[in-house]
Structure 1
């Protein structure tokens, strides 16, 4: 049977099964029934049809009463990496992008680096199932090598996607760029000190006080309108682990007196000296210039 001969509604349900197997590693029949509000018999037919189309993709565990991804799994649908990551980031994990959405006339800047969807899927599986992973990672400082990580979040930092994880080599929580991973193998469950709850910089919120740049902007009202400022400032709370990425993405001048020159620096971080011991701020424009 060809996919294009199946009704649109059933293709949606098959795509959901495919998506859950790829990203979660498993799916209950009740997950499909609850998501699409179909009857038990209809849900059973969908799983039977999926198994007819790709019999090597799943196996049923009678004890746990759910279907698991097999080692031979190959997605039935094409899952576009950029769109799927966006949906995951916005908690829209329905698998619909496997069968095509309405294309709205909206453009975004081109992405120069798109992660391997199978690397992303394996990391998501590890996070959802509370597992550690072994990866082959290529860093700028030490080249390629094996690392053992305990991932807890996948993040778009504005320029690239990375995973926030406990690194067993350095015994610390760090960020790892997804496109620098060439292999991911799921390992055993982590120890307590490796869990997300112990990632202090992830849970710590810090205030950023952003104002129009005091020297590069001739008409600050325009900047105030751009960012919805009140009383000529924008005060936001961000994760300490993410602050530097945000400041770099928006070209926020983080020098002591707003001394960076250039039209790209339209914002200034006014409260830089109230921020202490935030490692991620080292990548912010001008933060380490004083």
Structure 2
């Protein structure tokens, strides 16, 4: 934290942190945004902005026409933010992509992620999403390093690492990109997403499937599994986006084989309607799943 901020009261520090979070991760803010989110009045907002501009005059500029403060190309954060905190703030603030914000101001905890993206990458991706801009990246896949322009619209946590769902202009299709593999991101603020790059045209994002989970038929004492998962006597139904299916079933260790042959102690559940996976693009990640040809599907990673 910048030395000048340490001399302020805890309340002022909290407000300046919130101001910079909006600037860094959302690309800017207006006075009414700060008023709505923090319940502040005009004089207090003016004072906080003046303090921030005194400390970091090159970080923001005022757009008179839009009446909006914007991030500059010379931005340098005065408050260090851990990636986990940034992601917690974004996911709690922006919700799950359904237009409804989640509750904020409550403690946030999550299992330790071994794959932590950089805060700067998170900030660039978030600004691109918020502004509906493309972003130029260098991407390290398992095959090669390549430069490409993507149009991101949602952050996705698969339980092990963070992805961004985006339209890939190079491949001309919607894809997942692992945040830790994104290098040198540059938000193309002079460009906007094209109509065909919008999320509602991404079949894997806009389509959902209902999964029917039951206690594994070959495990003893299924009543214990039912208690653990709050299951009734019938199957437990879960509705997921296509884009989430493979990741979620792998995270939950659900046996997705047709003959429930998986023997691991972690496989407490079986996917009773496993045939629905034939239509899911990332079902290759589901434990034990075999395609309609009967061959075991091998998971690949771009």
Q: Return the match for 1:91 from 84, 93, 106.
A: 93
Q: Counterpart in 2 of 1:173?
A: 174
Distance in 2 between residues matched to 1:281 and 1:159, nearest whole Å: 17
Deviations 1:232-262 (CA, angstroms, capped at 9, x unpaired): 4211100011100000001111100100111
Distance in 2 between residues matched to 1:191 and 1:60, nearest whole Å: 27
Q: Return the match for 2:215 from 208, 212, 215.
A: 212
Q: Counterpart in 2 of 1:246?
A: 248
Q: Counterpart in 1 of 2:200?
A: 197
Q: Counterpart in 2 of 1:185?
A: 186
**Gap change, CA 1:130 and 1:102, over 3 Å in 2:** closer
State the Cα distance separating 1:102 from its structure 2 match: 9.2
**Partner-residue secondary structure (3-state), 2:212:** strand
**Partner-residue secondary structure (3-state), 1:211:** strand
Q: Counterpart in 2 of 1:282?
A: 284
Distance in 1 between residues matched to 2:231 and 2:86, nearest whole Å: 32
Deviations 1:97-134 (CA, angstroms, capped at 9, x unpaired): 9xxx9989x7x543211001111111111111111111
Distance in 1 between residues matched to 2:211 and 2:132, nearest whole Å: 32
Q: Which runs of 5+ in 1 are unaligned?
A: none
**Gap change, CA 1:268 and 1:102, over 3 Å in 2:** closer
**Gap change, CA 1:103 and 1:244, over 3 Å in 2:** closer
- Written as runs of structure 1 = structure 2, the 5 A alignment for 1:94-113 is 108-113=110-115
**Partner-residue secondary structure (3-state), 2:81:** coil
Note if contact 2:30-2:67 (Cα within 8 Å) is conserved in structure 1: yes
Indicate the RMSD between aligned Cα atoms, in angstroms.
Answer: 2.1
TM, length-normalised to structure 1:
0.91
Note if contact 1:156-1:162 (Cα within 8 Å) is conserved in structure 2: yes
Note if contact 2:27-2:130 (Cα within 8 Å) is conserved in structure 1: no
Note if contact 2:277-2:283 (Cα within 8 Å) is conserved in structure 1: no
Which deviates the most, 26-35 or 143-152? 26-35
Q: Return the match for 2:53 from 51, 54, 58.
A: 51
Q: Which runs of 5+ in 2 are unaligned?
A: 96-100, 295-302
Deviations 1:61-83 (CA, angstroms, capped at 9, x unpaired): 21221111111111121111012
TM, length-normalised to structure 2:
0.88
Q: Return the match for 2:132 from 130, 133, 137.
A: 130
Residue 234 (1) aligns with residue 266 (2): no
Q: How many residues align?
A: 281
